[in-house]
């Protein structure tokens, strides 16, 4: 009997440990599945934001008109575009091409290098949800002005290539001013600074570069990017008055804290 116990007891510990590990993994997966389960898609792969349309910052009210042709500001746009756009053979062009991707989880790669923990649907479900919903709010904040001004994009003027040739047909129908991508990237950067304050300079620098990637890609003017950055900031300011956003922000902080403790 003593012999039987000595054989079975370690086995029982092993099985219990394995069962516990599997349970924790399954619980993590279930949590990831449950978080945001009640948030609807407004189109395939794109979740609704936190803000109702009437709650979004009004880009037509907040922004000046885009520079007029023949103005000094438009001349600056042309000069900056000429100096900044790439021909497809540089490291910066490749970075800008990656920054153009807004579908998940690939979109997370743009900021992965400046964060202390990996962001994923499984490990940080609240933060994953937060970034997807903030993306929608920041993007939609630009559309009143986009539709009103319907500004031509650089590649439509200079006939140079873009880093997203497959998107050009859509982009031709979508106004250039202000830059929705820039609004998204800057909104992400501001939110991530709250979650990773020790990395704020790196995060903000990445957010700035994310917006400027649109100039490199030849799909936005410099003034579009500056205006997009303002709309990203305005969106985050408004989100801080939204209880659901604040709840997800606080839940994200707890997720990050748990991951950091596991690494210690």
Q: Over the range 114-141, which residues count as b (16 or more CB within 10 Å of their CB) and which as e?
A: bbebebebebbbbbbbbbbbbbbbbbbb
Domain CATH for 171: 1.20.144.10
| Percent of the chain topping pLDDT 70 | 85
Same domain, 51 and 76: yes
Q: How far is CA 198 from CA 125, 164, 224, in A?
A: 22, 34, 30
Count CB neighbours of 245 within 10 A: 21
Same domain, 177 and 238: yes
Question: Of the given ranges (16-30, 92-106, 145-159), which has the lowest mean pLDDT?
Answer: 16-30
Q: Is 258 a catalytic residue?
A: no
43 strand-pairing partners: 46
Residue 82 pLDDT class (50, 70, 90 cuts): very high
Among 126, 151, 214, 229, which one carries the catalytic annotation? 214
Q: Is 167 a catalytic residue?
A: no
Instruction: State the pLDDT at residue 195.
Output: 97
Same domain, 246 and 160: yes
Q: Is 126 a catalytic residue?
A: no
Residue numbers of the domain that contains 53: 40-263
pTM of the model: 0.86
The sign of the dihedral angle between the CA atoms of 113, 115, 118, 122 is negative
Same domain, 87 and 7: no
Q: Is 214 a catalytic residue?
A: yes
Among 126, 132, 220, 229, which one carries the catalytic annotation? 220
Same domain, 71 and 22: no
For residue range 226-256, list pLDDT tens digits in order. Answer: 999 999 999 999 999 999 999 999 999 999 9
Same domain, 62 and 19: no
Among 77, 137, 224, 248, which one carries the catalytic annotation? 224
Residue 35 pLDDT class (50, 70, 90 cuts): low
Determine the average pLDDT of the residues in 254-259: 94
Q: How far is CA 228 from CA 60, 62, 143, 155, 157, in A?
A: 12, 11, 11, 18, 20
Same domain, 69 and 144: yes
Pick from 20-24, 83-87, 257-261 the range whose average pLDDT is largest: 257-261
Contact indicator for 126, 251 with CB cutoff of 8 Å:
yes
Determine the average pLDDT of the residues in 70-83: 96
For residue range 94-153, list pLDDT tens digits in order. Answer: 999 999 999 999 999 999 999 989 999 999 999 999 999 999 999 999 999 999 999 999
Among 153, 181, 206, 229, which one carries the catalytic annotation? 181
Which distant-in-sequence residues (6+ apart) come within 8 Å of 184 by Cβ? 102, 134, 135, 138, 139, 232
Domain count across the chain: 2
Same domain, 15 and 107: no
Same domain, 124 and 199: yes
For residue range 174-214, list pLDDT tens digits in order. Answer: 999 999 999 999 999 999 999 999 999 999 999 999 999 99
Same domain, 113 and 3: no
């Amino acid at each position: 009997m003593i012999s039987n116990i000595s054989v079975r007891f370690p086995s029982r510990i092993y099985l219990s440990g394995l069962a516990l590990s599997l349970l924790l993994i399954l619980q993590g997966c279930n949590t990831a599945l449950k978080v945001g389960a009640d948030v609807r898609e407004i189109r395939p792969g794109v979740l609704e934001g936190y803000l109702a349309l009437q709650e979004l910052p009004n880009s037509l009210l907040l922004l000046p008109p885009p520079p007029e042709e023949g103005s000094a500001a438009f001349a600056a746009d042309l000069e900056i575009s000429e100096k900044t756009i790439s021909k497809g053979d540089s490291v910066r062009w490749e970075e800008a091409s990656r920054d153009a991707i807004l579908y998940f989880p690939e979109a997370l790669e743009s900021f992965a290098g400046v964060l202390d923990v990996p962001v994923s649907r499984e490990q940080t479900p609240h933060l994953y949800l937060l970034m997807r919903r903030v993306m929608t709010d920041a993007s939609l904040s630009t559309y009143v002005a986009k539709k009103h001004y319907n500004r031509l994009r650089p590649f439509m003027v200079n006939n140079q290539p873009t880093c997203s040739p497959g998107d050009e047909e859509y982009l031709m129908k979508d106004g250039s001013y202000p830059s929705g991508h820039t609004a998204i990237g800057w909104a992400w950067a501001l939110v991530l600074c709250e979650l990773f304050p020790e990395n704020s300079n790196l995060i903000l620098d990445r957010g700035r570069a994310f917006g400027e990637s649109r100039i490199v890609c030849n799909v936005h003017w410099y003034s579009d990017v500056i205006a997009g950055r303002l709309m990203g900031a305005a969106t985050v300011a408004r989100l801080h008055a939204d209880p659901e956003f604040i709840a997800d922000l606080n839940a994200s902080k707890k997720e990050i804290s748990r991951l950091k403790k596991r690494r210690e």
